[in-house]
Amino acid sequence: MPLVRISVPAGKGEAFVKSVSEGVHDAMVATIDIPQADRFQVITEHAAGRLVIDPTYMDIERSEDAVIIQITMRSGRTVAKKRALYRAIADNLVARAGLRKEDIMIVLTENELIDWSFGNGEAQYVPE
């Protein structure tokens, strides 16, 4: 049930966007037990100057190709699973989209089951 927001620089092309999308999803399936069919992503392309990423924060050299991946998900995964997720996303995006590991920023936000409604104005995960 994660909701994933992926911000990429504009002009990278459909193949790049698809590679990033699939790479992130496949990493979640492999590392944090997400079902294959559980895919909710918002992918946004940003014109120059609209995706502001510090080029040297934490002594990591980032290029103009840097992307931001925000994952909102239910709380409860271990530190080991989260670290495995970060590694798998980075490995996938290097192999599939040609990104550098330095250009991949990932932010996880956790919440509880009551914080999700998949439609009909209901909290499907929390019984009445």
Positions marked catalytic = 2
H or E element that contains 73: strand 67-74
**Cα–Cα distance measured from residue 29 to residue 33, given in angstroms and rounded to the nearest whole number:** 5
**Cα–Cα distance measured from residue 93 to residue 75, given in angstroms and rounded to the nearest whole number:** 25
Nearest to 29 by CA among 94, 75, 73, 79: 73
